[in-house]
Amino acid sequence: MALVAVGVLATACGSGGETTAEGGAPASGGGDSTITMGFAQVGAESGWRTANTKSVQESAKAAGIDLKFSDAQQKQENQIKAIRSYIQQKVDVIAFSPVVESGWDTVLQEAKAANIPVILTDRAVDSPDKTLYKTFLGSDFVEEGKKAGQWLVEQYASETGDVNIVELQGTTGSAPANDRKAGFAEVIGADPKFKVIASQSGDFTRAKGKEVMDAFLKANPDIDVLYAHNDDMGLGAIEAIEGAGKVPGKDIKIITVDAVKDGMQALADGKINYIVECSPLLGPQLMDLAKKVLAGETVPDRVVTEETTFTQEQAKQALPTRQY
């Protein structure tokens, strides 16, 4: 119920005026009716997510797409409800960022049966049936994990002793948590001196990052490195590290992923050592893909976001013009 209400609200302050004709087949893009997109967002768990939501909302407006937006508060059941409500409302296209990878086949089959194309943004699903969605737009999270691992390998190249690493994982079962863990493990696995001594989910939030890091610090007196799957968990962990009387960035080296403003500030301030960028600005490409799909044009199965990495010096230079 609440989800529908949110959708209606978002519509009311959207492009205004026109609505999609009811009942008929999805807009082909050829007519002059406004495209309606139902977007089922993960939640508002991080700075990345806030920037992503803003990008989607602003791009829909700019593209003249009528956006119905819902926030699932990191719960798959809420996302499934939102998608079902979009199917019922006969939107032209559904886009969503799946909170976890598994368990989507049924609802995606329902969308397919209703002839409503689905676009995955940001996170992947593990359905073997690739006909359940038109395309997947987002980052290569395995690559991000590898970049984090490569920096670590370079930093400790001349050291021979053990390097004790703790890992703050993203939301359990999510594509970025699974893949960032796997990519990192693959790279550091080549040298047995790298030891992941604790690894646990911090749910991509600052509060959980702090809580789990507190526990890590209590259980492990000798932590050399923290690898956090996003900036927010890293920022929460910094509070825990300072609270334990240690110096983040020095006593414990910190690597995070995202490169949102607060993370970049901490990097420039020397509290984080390295950030692997993950761009949340997916809105313009998403709107473009939706228009193409509805116009019957072929789109690539996979559109990978371009991204970079930042050292402390690079963060200082990039900060003044950073958009998010």
Question: Which positions lie near ligand GYE, rule CB under 6 A?
Answer: 45-46, 48-49, 122-123, 176, 204, 230, 232, 257-258, 278
Q: Yes or no: say if 187 and 223 are a contact pair by the CB < 8 Å rule.
A: no
Q: Give the pairing type, strands 163-169 and 194-201.
A: parallel
Least Å from the CB of residue 70 to ligand GYE = 16
Based on CB atoms, which residue is closest to ligand GYE, 49 or 146? Answer: 49
Least Å from the CB of residue 158 to ligand GYE = 31
Phi, psi of 164 (to 5 degrees): -85, 120
Least Å from the CB of residue 49 to ligand GYE = 5
Based on CB atoms, which residue is closest to ligand GYE, 204 or 274? Answer: 204
Q: String of b and e for 178-202 (b: at least 16 CB within 10 Å)?
A: bbbbebbbebbeeeeebebbbbbbb
Phi, psi of 237 (to 5 degrees): -65, -35
What is the Cα–Cα distance from 95 to 70, expressed in whole angstroms? 11
What is the total residue count of the chain? Answer: 324
CB atoms within 10 A of CB 37: 24
Based on CB atoms, which residue is closest to ligand GYE, 92 or 232? Answer: 232
Based on CB atoms, which residue is closest to ligand GYE, 233 or 299? Answer: 233
Least Å from the CB of residue 115 to ligand GYE = 28
CB atoms within 10 A of CB 281: 16
What is the Cα–Cα distance from 65 to 116, expressed in whole angstroms? 16
Least Å from the CB of residue 260 to ligand GYE = 7
Based on CB atoms, which residue is closest to ligand GYE, 156 or 204? Answer: 204
Least Å from the CB of residue 233 to ligand GYE = 8
Based on CB atoms, which residue is closest to ligand GYE, 286 or 294? Answer: 286
Least Å from the CB of residue 125 to ligand GYE = 13
In angstroms, what CA-CA distances link 116 with 77, 95, 217, 289, 290? Answer: 20, 10, 49, 14, 11
Tally DSSP H helices, then E strands, for the chain: 11, 12
Based on CB atoms, which residue is closest to ligand GYE, 14 or 138? Answer: 138
What is the Cα–Cα distance from 168 to 198, expressed in whole angstroms? 9
Q: Yes or no: say if 171 and 201 are a contact pair by the CB < 8 Å rule.
A: yes
